[in-house]
Amino acid sequence: MSDEMMEGGAVKKFCYVNRKAPYGTIYALESLEVVLIGAAFEQDVSLVFIDDGVYQLTKGQDTADIGMKNFSPTYRALEMYDVEKLYVDKEALEARGLSEEDLLVDVQVMSREEIAGLMEEQDVVLTF
Amino acid sequence: MKFTIQVNEGPYTHQASDSAYKFCEAALAKGHEIFRVFFYHDGVNNATRLTTPPQDDRNIVNRWSDLAAKHNLDLVVCVAAAQRRGIADEDEAKRNGKDANNIAPGFRISGLGQLIEGGIQSDRLVVFGD
Amino acid sequence: MLHTVNKSPFEKNSLESCLAYAHKGSTILLIEDGVYAALQNTAVAEMLKKAMNDFTICALEPDLKARGVRAKVMDGIKLVDYSGFVDLVVENDKVQAWL
């Protein structure tokens, strides 16, 4: 892994775009796994939550009765990996009857236009 | 240019693997370099050698193996996603106490870091999924 | 940025979301089932016509032909093959897939 890290040199802006809800499909969980592994590469990482992706961050997820692992605490661990730039679309929240208070981690809530601007500035965009 | 391609879905159920393949084919024909094709989520299912699709249709797994052989491509299957879905090479099978392995020629199993490295080292990252 | 949309606008909101976030002047490439958005007289035709004011909208011709709808493509949609798809990726600084 250290060889791979040294080869890179320049730091790129990596944006992980999350548009899907958790548990109904695996994309939310497995994209988070990429973020955690990717953190070791010390790139400039942003996570963007739009559309149903905002549901990944709701508080109080209790998966006991569906028999799946509750991976939502992992979002709180992100700052330990120096992944601190989490951006949530305000309109996506509102369309779903949610507010910042419903979210389990500190995020920056931004307008659609601001999120669009942020994504445009990135070097690499990963979607899942 | 150098491309890294990400394939998020398995063979046949979604068009993602087909689209990715056709894209790679076209890119190579134009003289570009495919730095890596990274198979994630159900995309790891493109790497099983146990498929027997109908004879009158494309063989997606073999097509990838053949393209890899012809152009010396790096086809990487994410280890975590592969473990979840039962794609294993000889080492992985041994390590996890399985009595068989099923990886197709031309594919190798490795970590998610290979995707990030692809994004860093390539000029473009193109994602095919659902 | 090049945006790719691969799902039908009647199945998912991916195209709608793409159009909401894409910067003016971007190129949007419809592939796979996404090409259905490029057809005349659909419920999304007006949305596409408006979008053409702000974006260059392309569609992957092989996917249109596969679905038997090549002849119904709206005016103003630029058709490309896989080689053209590669060119679009090269010409734009990055790609965002709207899955």
- Place C67 in a pLDDT band, splitting at 50, 70 and 90: very high
Q: Please tell me which residue of chain C has the smallest CA distance to B34.
A: C86
Q: Which residue has the tokens 């592969």?
A: B82
Which residues lie closer than 8 Å to B47 by C-beta, 6 or more apart?
A: B39, B61, B64, B75, B77, B82, B87, B103, B104, B107, B109
- Note whether C17 contacts A51, CB cutoff 8 Å: yes
- Could you report the per-residue pLDDT of A16-46, keeping only the tens digit for each? 999 999 999 999 999 999 999 999 999 999 9
The torsion angles phi and psi of C2, rounded to 5 degrees, stand at -100, 130
Give me the helix-helix angle, C82-91 and B16-29, nearest 10°: 80
- Note whether B119 contacts A124, CB cutoff 8 Å: yes
Listed by start position, the domains of chain A span 2-127
Considering only the beta carbons, identify the residue of B6, B113, B125 that sits closest to A1: B113
CA distance C45 to C9: 10
- Could you report the per-residue pLDDT of A75-124, keeping only the tens digit for each? 999 999 999 999 999 999 999 999 999 999 999 999 999 999 999 999 99
Distance from CA of A86 to the nearest CA of B (A): 19
- Could you report the per-residue pLDDT of B74-121, keeping only the tens digit for each? 999 999 999 999 999 999 999 999 999 999 999 999 999 999 999 999
> Quick one: pLDDT at residue A1?
42
- Place A9 in a pLDDT band, splitting at 50, 70 and 90: low
Q: Write down all domains in chain B, each with its CATH number in brackets.
A: 2-128 (3.40.1260.10)
- Could you report the per-residue pLDDT of B26-72, keeping only the tens digit for each? 999 999 999 999 999 999 999 999 999 999 999 999 999 999 999 99
Residue C65 has pLDDT above 90, yes or no: yes
Listed by start position, the domains of chain C span 2-98
Out of 3.40.30.10, 3.10.310.10, 3.40.1260.10, 3.40.50.1240, select the CATH number for domain C2-98. 3.40.1260.10
- Could you report the per-residue pLDDT of C37-64, keeping only the tens digit for each? 999 999 999 999 999 999 999 999 999 9
Residue C97 has pLDDT above 80, yes or no: yes
Which residues lie closer than 8 Å to A45 by C-beta, 6 or more apart?
A: A14, A15, A16, A35, A38, A39, A83, A85
* The pair of three-digit structure tokens given for residue B111, joined into one six-digit string: 């970590």
**For residue B121, which residues of chain A lie inside 8 Å, CB to CB?**
7-8
H, E, C per residue of B59-118: CHHHHHHHHHHHHCCCEEEEHHHHHHHCCCCHHHHHHCCCCCCCECCCEEEECCHHHHHH
Closest CA to A28 of A19, A36, A37: A19
In the CATH hierarchy, which fold is given to the domain comprising A2-127?
Answer: Hypothetical Protein Ychn; Chain: A, (3.40.1260)
The residues of B assigned a catalytic role are 78
Mean pLDDT, chain C, rounded, equals: 98
Closest CA to C39 of C7, C74, C80: C74
Question: Within a 13 Å sphere around the CA of B55, how many CA atoms are in the beta-carbon half?
Answer: 0
